Amino acid sequence: ANDLISNHLTFFLYHHAELFDEAQWPEGITIMGMGLLEGEKMSSSKGHVVLPGKAIEDYGADTVRFFLLNSAEPWQDYDWRAEQVEGVEDQLRRFWNRAQELIDDEAAAAADRVDPESDLEHIDRWLLSKLQSTIAEVTAALDNAETRTASQAAFYGFEEHLKWYRRRADLDRDGAQWALRHVLENRLRLLAPFVPFMTNELHEQLTGTPAEDAPWPEVDESWESPRTETEERQIERLAEDVQDILTVTEQDPETIRIYVAADWKREVFETVREVGTDVGQVMGEVMQDPDLRERGDAVNDLAQDLVELVRGVDDDTIAAMSKIDERSTYETAVDFLEREHGAEVTVYAEDGDNIVNPGDKASNAVPFRPAIHIE
pLDDT digits (tens, 9 = 90+) for 244-296: 999 999 999 999 999 999 999 999 999 999 998 899 999 999 899 998 988 88
Residue 1 has pLDDT above 70, yes or no: no
CB 188 within 8 A of CB 203: yes
Residue 359 CA, distance from chain mean position:
38
Distance CA 244, CA 372 (A): 11
Say whether pLDDT at 23 is over 70.
yes
Asked which of 224, 249, 268 is the last residue of a domain, the reply is 224
Domain end (from 224, 256, 279): 224
Q: How far is CA 6 from CA 2, 78, 266, 283, 354, in A?
A: 9, 21, 62, 61, 78
How far apart are alpha carbons 235 and 333 in whole angstroms? Answer: 7
Predicted pLDDT at 339 = 94
Buried b (16+ CB within 10 A) or exposed e, 87-118: ebbeebeebeeebeebbeeebeebbeebebee
**Alpha-carbon span 271 to 293, nearest angstrom:** 14
Q: With contact defined as beta carbons under 8 Å apart, do 127 and 232 qualify?
A: no
Residues 171 and 243 in one domain: no
Q: Which residue has the higher pLDDT, 295 or 90?
A: 90
Q: Is 324 left (phi over 0), alpha (psi -120 to 50) or beta?
A: beta
Name the percent of the chain lying above pLDDT 70: 99
Same domain, 315 and 357: yes
Rounded Cα distance, 362 and 351, in Å: 9
> How sure is the predictor about 321, in pLDDT bands with cuts at 50, 70 and 90?
very high
Rounded to 10°, the helix 297-310/279-286 angle is 130
Least confident of 45-54, 112-121, 316-325: 45-54
Same domain for 248 and 143: no
Tell me which H or E stretch contains 346. strand 344-349
Task: Compare 327 and 297 and report the one with higher pLDDT.
Answer: 327
The answer to the question of residue 174 being in a domain is yes
Across the range 38-50, mean pLDDT stands at 81
| Average pLDDT over all residues of the chain | 93
d(CA 186, CA 284): 50
Interval 311-324 mean pLDDT: 92
Domain that holds residue 198: 58-224
Structural domains in the chain (count): 3
Q: What is the mean pLDDT of residues 139-145?
A: 96
Tell me the C-alpha distance between 55 and 69, whole Å. Answer: 15
CATH number of the domain bearing residue 100: 1.10.730.10
Same domain, 160 and 274: no
Residue 2: pLDDT over 80:
no
Closest Cα to residue 92, out of 122, 70, 113, 124?
70
Q: Are 63 and 192 found together in one domain?
A: yes
Tens of pLDDT, residues 198-235 = 999 999 999 999 999 999 999 999 999 999 999 999 99
Instruction: Kindly report the pTM of this predicted structure.
Output: 0.87
> In this predicted model, what pLDDT tens digit does every residue of 163-203 receive, in sequence order?
999 999 999 999 999 999 999 999 999 999 999 999 999 99
Question: Residues 123, 207: one domain?
Answer: yes
In angstroms, the CA 344 to CA 366 distance is 23
Share of the chain above pLDDT 90, in %: 78
Same domain, 235 and 354: yes
Least confident of 222-231, 311-320, 329-338: 311-320
Q: What are the tens digits of pLDDT across the range 233-255?
A: 999 999 999 999 999 999 999 99
Q: What count of other Cβ atoms lies within 10 Å of the Cβ of residue 280?
A: 9
Does 330 lie in the same domain as 269? yes
Residue 247 lies inside a defined structural domain of this protein: yes
Task: Say yes or no: 250 and 218 in one domain.
Answer: no
pLDDT score at 59? 96
